[in-house]
Amino acid sequence: MTRLHESRKRILVTGGAGFLGSHLIDRLLDQGHELLCVDNLFTGTKRNIDHLHNHPRFEFMRHDITLPLYVEVDEIYNLACPASPIHYQYDPVQTTKTSVHGAINMLGLAKRLKCRILQASTSEVYGDPSVHPQSESYWGNVNPIGPRSCYDEGKRCAETLFFDYHRQHALDIKVARIFNTYGPRMHHADGRVVSNLITQALRGDPITIYGNGEQTRSFCYVDDLIDGLIQLMESDRKVTGPINLGNPAEFTVRELANKILVMTNSTSEWVELPLPQDDPKRRRPNIEKAQEVLGWQPTVSLDEGLGKTIDFFKTRLPKTG
């Protein structure tokens, strides 16, 4: 649906060459906006935005958001940050810098432009939660010095910065706490459970279950998540969040693995590997706030979403590696 020219906005998406960012850009272009994608291509790839190469309303800028950025835009979605454990633990100092310095720069930009800014925060701010399911009022249980801390604490500090810029400079902010999201354009080697298990199942490699596989996650299909992000961005100014966006349907890793094996007709065997340090035992969003304030809730079932994701991996998966 194309908007009238007057309502066309110039929108900055940081991390736009990544999994979520590239889907967000597609959707915003469909709505008739102009898009500026800023990405340093650390975990993202030009392949995710190749199809936009000649799009008249799309522009790509290779830039690291830990450095200042002077551009003119009407709205900012701040998604830049490695998101999977192996990616964010590869260079943990850079991960924290991306969350913290990156947030300061993007908030400084929004302050100068007096424009609305949305932060892609994460369910990881709840750590290994002692409250289940997690609602926004829960403060979390995060190890400040462990291997996941660069991501968790970086994202927590970014939230702090967003709310301080809001209170101190009256900035128009939105904070989304995103729970595990999957779908086409996930990186096949990001080590996340959905991408790992689909890759292993399609290749006939052993299915790696960390721990006993009884830990749970709640998986949201990317299209649903993008709907939620845009609805939050377009919500009333007084809605700042934080607001949980995720799918409350909770599955054990074993249940997920079984589904993937059946859907791929795979003969892969199972192998149990040690549970990583600080791996949360349960995670499920309470999305009452998103339902109430945004009228949003996911609509795509795990079976349907996995089917689309498996189809994508079949076309993009390198034979090995």
The contact set with ligand NAD (CB under 6 A) reads 14-15, 17-21, 39-44, 64-66, 79-83, 87, 98, 102, 120, 122, 178, 180-181
Q: Are strands 250-252 and 216-218 parallel, antiparallel or unpaired?
A: antiparallel
Residue with tokens 């990186």: 187
Span of 28-36, 45-53, 66-74, 294-302 interacting with ligand UDP by CB under 6 A: 66-74
Judged by CB under 6 A, which of 46, 63, 89, 104 binds ligand UDP? Answer: 104
Structural tokens at position 257: 């693995």
Span of 11-19, 109-117, 221-229, 234-242 interacting with ligand UDP by CB under 6 A: 109-117
Q: From its phi and psi, is residue 131 left (phi > 0), alpha (psi between -120 and 50) or beta?
A: beta
Active site residue 221: no
Contact yes or no for 196/205 (Cβ under 8 A): no
Judged by CB under 6 A, which of 111, 166, 203, 259 binds ligand UDP? Answer: 111
Rounded Cα distance between 77 and 175, Å, is: 10
Residue 83 or 290 with smaller CB distance to ligand NAD: 83
Binding partner at 181 among ligand NAD, ligand UDP, none, C-beta below 5 to 8 Å by kind: ligand NAD
Q: How far is the CB of 159 from ligand NAD (least distance, A)?
A: 12
Considering 88, 126, 151, 182, which one is annotated as catalytic?
151
Could you give the 3-state DSSP secondary structure of residue 95? helix
Binding mask 153-192 for ligand UDP (x = CB under 6 A): ---------------------------x-----------x
Query: How is 175-237 classified by DSSP, letter by letter?
Result: EEEE--EE-TT--TTS--HHHHHHHHHHHTPPEEEETTS--EEE-EEHHHHHHHHHHHHTS-T
Q: Residue 130: how many CB atoms within 10 A of its CB?
A: 12
- Annotated catalytic sites, by residue? 151
Q: Residues interacting with ligand UDP, by CB under 6 A?
A: 68-70, 84-85, 104-105, 108-109, 111-112, 180, 192-193, 196, 208-210, 215, 217, 253, 275-276, 279
